[in-house]
């Protein structure tokens, strides 16, 4: 049961991510049947303003010592990677005393600096996932999910994924009825399907060799046609073995893995920019059948083509604008 919540604030705090924590845990909704949380905002020096990432100031009412003993310690996104040692010490002591630690977006770096990610499953914004994995090599960083629940450590991906993580924690600790009340007041779904893969910009891989680039360009211009290693190698005037080896060296993927990924990316663009039905999208992107498109699209992007179009279709935006 969560009764006490302490939020860490430092210079460079991101207001939206902090606001997410405040919205879920800092507002008295006891009149709606939601248990009231004892919510504290904890900074380096009570009463002293902190600069946020957008230039505005925020004044905490409590010091780091009030992180220790809270049922939940929330760490919003905070710019930079150098954090006060007394803040990190308080987080460590809070975790050791049994607090649940929840991070939003780059708040995972603060938890990592406190040593809480070692050997743990975690996530952060997809733009920062590689940096998190490099900085904390024993952390098991999942780049695809909206949040990771690893028991007393909950980490979330970028920005709005903090809402998903907070509501998940409320559901886990207080049940679905309380979660639904909070979500309804926030005008957000109590649960989102899919992961952050659907929000990641996935460009065509950088080509390393000018001599090999024309082969990739030709494939991209002919995705709707069937391809095999044998037909592609013949067109490139190479043996199948040599072509496959060169392809992996150039792209990091086998030929058919690369072709499939590019078909998914092209299908994604068609779903965003056209009103073609799913069968036609499957045909134009080279999958041939809607069933095959759905299988590979969900594997790469994390949601079905229909769900993706509903969220990202530019034609829908134009119609409603």
Structure tokens at 103: 């991070």
List, as one string, the DSSP characters of 183-216: HHHHTS-S---S-GGGG---PPPPP--TTTHHHH
Q: Is residue 314 among the annotated active site residues?
A: no
Catalytic residue among 105, 122, 208, 314: 105
Burial 138-172 (b: 16+ CB within 10 A, else e): ebebbbbbbbbbbeebbbbbbbbbbbbbbbbbbbe
- Separation between Cα atoms, residue 11 and residue 77, nearest integer Å: 11
Here the tokens at position 178 are 């309380």
Q: Do the Cβ atoms of 232 and 219 come closer than 8 Å?
A: yes
Tokens representing 36? Answer: 């009231």
Cα–Cα distance, 312 to 171 (Å, whole number): 28
Active site residues: 105
């Amino acid at each position: 049961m969560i009764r006490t919540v302490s939020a860490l604030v430092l210079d460079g705090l991101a207001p939206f991510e902090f606001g997410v924590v405040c919205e879920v845990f800092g507002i008295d909704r006891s009149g709606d049947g939601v248990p009231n949380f004892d919510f504290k905002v904890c900074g380096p020096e009570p009463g002293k303003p902190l600069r946020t990432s957008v230039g505005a100031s925020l004044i905490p009412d409590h010091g780091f010592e009030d992180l220790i003993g809270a049922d939940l310690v929330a760490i919003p996104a905070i710019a930079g990677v150098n954090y006060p040692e007394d803040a990190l010490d308080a987080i460590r002591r809070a975790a050791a005393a049994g607090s649940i630690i929840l991070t939003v977006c780059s708040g995972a770096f603060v938890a990592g600096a406190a040593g809480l990610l070692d050997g743990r499953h975690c996530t952060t914004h997809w733009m920062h996932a590689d940096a998190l994995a490099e900085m904390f090599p024993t952390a098991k960083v999942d780049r695809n999910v909206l949040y990771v629940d690893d028991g007393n450590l909950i980490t979330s991906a970028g920005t709005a994924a903090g809402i998903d993580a907070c509501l998940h924690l409320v559901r886990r600790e207080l049940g679905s009825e309380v979660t639904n009340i909070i979500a309804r007041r926030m005008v957000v779904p109590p649960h989102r399907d899919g992961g952050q893969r659907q929000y990641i910009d996935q460009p065509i891989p950088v080509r390393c060799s000018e001599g090999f680039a024309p082969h990739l360009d030709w494939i991209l211009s002919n995705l709707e046609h069937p391809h095999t290693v044998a037909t592609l190698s013949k067109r490139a005037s190479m043996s199948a073995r040599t072509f496959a080896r060169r392809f992996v060296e150039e792209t990091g993927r086998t030929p058919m893995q690369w072709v499939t990924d590019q078909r998914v990316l092209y299908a994604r663009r068609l779903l965003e920019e056209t009103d073609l039905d799913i069968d036609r999208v499957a045909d134009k992107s080279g999958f041939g059948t809607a069933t095959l498109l759905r299988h590979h699209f969900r594997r790469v992007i994390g949601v079905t083509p229909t769900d993706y179009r509903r969220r990202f279709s530019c034609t829908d935006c134009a119609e409603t604008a």
